[in-house]
A and B are shown apart, each in its own frame.
Chain A
Amino acid sequence: DQQVKQNSPSLSVQEGRISILNCDYTNSMFDYFLWYKKYPAEGPTFLISISSIKDKNEDGRFTVFLNKSAKHLSLHIVPSQPGDSAVYFCAAREISGYSTLTFGKGTMLLVSP
């Protein structure tokens, strides 16, 4: 049973436009959410996170929105750049305090010039 779902396997966006990556979760015990960017054969790179007590967090070109009632979060990248092309993973952590992350399957973002 997938507790974190990224329903879009891929997304294509033009340079300069907004990229919106979506993530849904089913576990009500998740209270901390993270987004990672990953290139093949490398480790994930942390991008941005959000606690369940917030509904928005911004860091430069990256903004994460959290809708707790819908159990949905999204990552907005504005403006998108070709270097943003990678696989993006949504991850969630339970309120237990353990550091265990549950990952979605990822969305491959392709930003074309």
Chain B
Amino acid sequence: KAGVTQTPRYLIKTRGQQVTLSCSPISGHRSVSWYQQTPGQGLQFLFEYFSETQRNKGNFPGRFSGRQFSNSRSEMNVSTLELGDSALYLCASSPGQPNTEAFFGQGTRLTVV
């Protein structure tokens, strides 16, 4: 069974640009959540999508957005990049039901210069 796939693994962008990250969840999983990991803040929840609908959102500005497609693949977009957006972005795949585990992809390392 394939795991969670995130692309690309590494990105370098310039301030002011926008970026799109992709996540393919485990087959059969309907929930995809996105997290940002930075040295100072740890792992912070961005948003969760379940069956193409955003069902929970963390405390991030509107520059961070996402979507989920009918095949459960998800993308997240960050517009008007700031230096502070440099982080490891992680996607978690889950069946979306209570008491079920979440499995993470390898992450996308975004560097904003």
User: Measuring CB to CB, which residues of chain A are less than 8 angstroms from any residue of chain B?
Assistant: 31-32, 34, 36, 41-46, 49, 51, 89, 91, 95, 97-106
Contacts and interface: CB of A to CB of B under 8 A. Distances in A.
A46 B92 CA distance: 11
B56 A100 contact: yes
B74 to A, nearest CB: 12
A91 B90 CA distance: 15
B102 A101 contact: yes
A44 B101 CA distance: 12
Nearest to B57: A100
A85 to B, nearest CB: 19
B6 to A, nearest CB: 8
B59 to A, nearest CB: 12
Interface residue tally on B, bucketed by range: 20 to 34
A97 B42 contact: no
Contacts of B101: 34, 46, 49
A43 B107 contact: yes
A99 B31 contact: yes
A45 B104 contact: yes
Nearest to A104: B42
Q: Which 10 A-B pairs have the closest CB atoms?
A: A43-B104, A103-B43, A99-B94, A99-B31, A98-B56, A105-B42, A44-B104, A43-B106, A43-B107, A97-B98
Given A32-B99, A100-B58, A103-B42, 18 more contacts: A31-B99, A34-B102, A36-B104, A42-B107, A43-B90, A44-B90, A45-B104, A46-B104, A49-B101, A98-B48, A99-B33, A99-B48, A99-B94, A99-B100, A100-B45, A100-B48, A101-B35, A106-B42
B4 interface: yes
Contacts of B50: 98-99
B20 to A, nearest CB: 19
Given A99-B48, A99-B92, A51 B42 contact: no
